[in-house]
Structure 1
């Protein structure tokens, strides 16, 4: 029952923005001066989706939205677009968290892959609709594929290091009865 205590939930709600700030900090470090021919995975998105599926109570939509809005501003992306799409994608996954509680990791990974592909597609379509200059399609595809490939690592780090595990049916019932 320690995983469903209000103190633990609020501590983990604070841990997600802290983890996001750490990821943003290392992303902004000027380690390379040459342009890349590949795009790194979006770790922030991978962790947001892993936490949304495993423990939806740890990452409220407002927290995800604010973290992604900060990332949009710091990474010089159109402000709010990826934040909105991420909130929608994570909300979609949160709604499917209960059915995935008893399913295999492969089905969870497939749901995340579909959500990531949907986010990337909608992002490119909306940017094209408004005539915003975009990166090459190949870079976007590489980033989505790399993010999908790194998702198991995000789950492993979340589960083993940060102790973000799936809710058991008893813990889920405790949380529902507490509301």
Structure 2
């Protein structure tokens, strides 16, 4: 079997496994009392980091499946956050060639802007559907913490999994430029 194809599917499996591990730790009952602050959405940060850095590692079906499982397990409206994250990830993937030459600060700002937009859309759709979107304070805390944890997610993705931006000369297994 082709080594590049094996590596591609290995990284996709690593992404799925890591997403399940994140969900597992998110669901652990560590404290019986309700929290006054919302933790970062590490899964969304990981989806965006991998989509920006190596779009071929996170195909649309894998993102949809992982985020839909997260919606069910985290008791969110099924499909709403998944669709927003999926659309945002595909938009970030389409900008990958332009992002390749930018600095990390600009990537971080792009991530922050994208996360803020999809969070506002999520809250707006929830209000239109007459569902309780939760308090605005908790949403703002979660967005701020997710933005703050993004460099850590990128660092872990880079140093542990080797997810780096593709270089201008990199090609896939069919010889097409990445």
- Shorter-chain TM-score bucket reads over 0.9
Residues 53-110 of structure 1: CA deviation (Å, up to 9, x unaligned): 0000000011011100000001110000000000001011101111111110011001
Q: Name the CA distance, whole Å, in 1 between partners of 2:46 and 2:127.
A: 27
Residues 26-53 of structure 1: CA deviation (Å, up to 9, x unaligned): 0000001111111000000000000000
How does 1:1-179 map onto structure 2 within 5 Å? 5-172=4-171, 177=176
Q: Name the CA distance, whole Å, in 2 between partners of 1:154 and 1:84.
A: 22
TM-score (norm 1): 0.94
TM-superposed deviation, 1:162: 0.7
Q: Name the CA distance, whole Å, in 2 between partners of 1:59 and 1:175.
A: 18
Q: State the Cα RMSD in Å.
A: 1.8
The residue matched to 1:66 in structure 2 has which SS? Answer: helix
Select the structure that is richer in helix. 1
Q: Name the CA distance, whole Å, in 1 between partners of 2:133 and 2:77.
A: 10
TM-superposed deviation, 1:172: 4.5
Q: Sort the Cα spacing of 1:116 and 1:69 in 2 relative to 1 into closer, same or farther, 3 A.
A: same
Q: Sort the Cα spacing of 1:33 and 1:175 in 2 relative to 1 into closer, same or farther, 3 A.
A: farther
Residues 113-161 of structure 1: CA deviation (Å, up to 9, x unaligned): 0110011000000000000012100100110010000000000000001
Q: Residues 23 and 70 of structure 2 are in contact (CA less than 8 Å); yes or no, is this contact kept in structure 1?
A: yes
Q: Residues 5 and 173 of structure 2 are in contact (CA less than 8 Å); yes or no, is this contact kept in structure 1?
A: no
Q: Name the CA distance, whole Å, in 2 between partners of 1:86 and 1:178.
A: 26
Q: How many residues align?
A: 177
TM-score (norm 2): 0.95
TM-superposed deviation, 1:174: 6.6
TM-superposed deviation, 1:7: 1.0
